[in-house]
Amino acid sequence: MAAIAQPKHTQYGLGTAKNYIGGVPASVRSYCVAIIAPDDGGRTIAERPPLYIYFHKRKYANTSSLLTLKFRIREDESRGRSLFRGNEEIEEEGFYKIVLPVSNSSLLNGKIQLLSTSIINEWSELDSAYAYIQREPDLNLEREVKRENTWLGKARIYAKYYYWYDAFDAYTQWLKINPTDQIARRERAKLLQESRRNQCSDYRLLSSEKLLELIDAKSAKLLAFPQKR
């Protein structure tokens, strides 16, 4: 009998120095954008993993202002060269799934890389958030996932191997078609509760508890970057 493969990681995080935190400048309290990601980074097995953000507006925010989401993937964990840049208009508050363009070559190079996103209005860049990601192939993980037919089964395999981005996406895909599955919902909540920070400097604006409540209430809207930029 073949030996059962054991995951080589024992935690989600990458052990990054946490040099960057997302946040709202002290003078701006109208908007907050949060990348849904672990505190000190997470792994993915995908070349173009689906990434999630939440865009939050205060009740008194100017709703007539045209807003743009700026998204970047850097070549390493510093503020180095951008491998990808995308700008898209964003109108509504909500939970968004970012889909990276197939036309680009692999955007993840095996190093720990920095993701950044910000909201821009007609006058200035209002808010920034950051997260770390690392693509790391794992043949045992790939084999297990390939044998599994359901999103929930895949999510649990990714979680067992501590591949945060893939696990969160698979749970979210499952809950989109099975919204009443409270066990899966609790398992996804555990991913956030165990590993996610407050990404707004005014934590009352979008605390981890508030973010979880908002994500649970809404399905993710698609935000696709269709071409190379």
List of domains in the chain: 31-224 (2.60.40.10)
- Residue 126, pLDDT score: 63
How confident is the model at residue 206, as a pLDDT?
Answer: 61
Give the pLDDT confidence score for residue 60 in this predicted structure.
64
Residue with tokens 């996804």: 188
How high is the pLDDT of residue 200?
57
Contact 111, 134 (CB under 8 A): yes
Q: Write down the pLDDT at residue 27.
A: 34
* Cβ count near 38 (within 10 Å): 25
CB–CB of 37/132 below 8 Å?
Answer: yes
Distance, in Å, from the CA atom of 211 to the CA atom of 59, rounded to the nearest integer, reads 16
Cα separation, 2 vs 211, in Å, equals 43
C-alpha span between 22 and 128 (Å, rounded): 6
Per-residue model confidence (pLDDT) at position 25: 35
Condensed to tens digits (0 to 9), the pLDDT of residues 134-192 reads 999 999 999 999 999 999 999 999 999 999 999 999 999 999 999 999 999 999 998 88
The predicted model scores a pTM of 0.86
The stretches in the chain having pLDDT less than 70 are 1-7, 10, 17-29, 59-65, 79, 103-105, 123, 125-127, 196-208, 226-229
What 3-state class would DSSP assign to 144?
helix
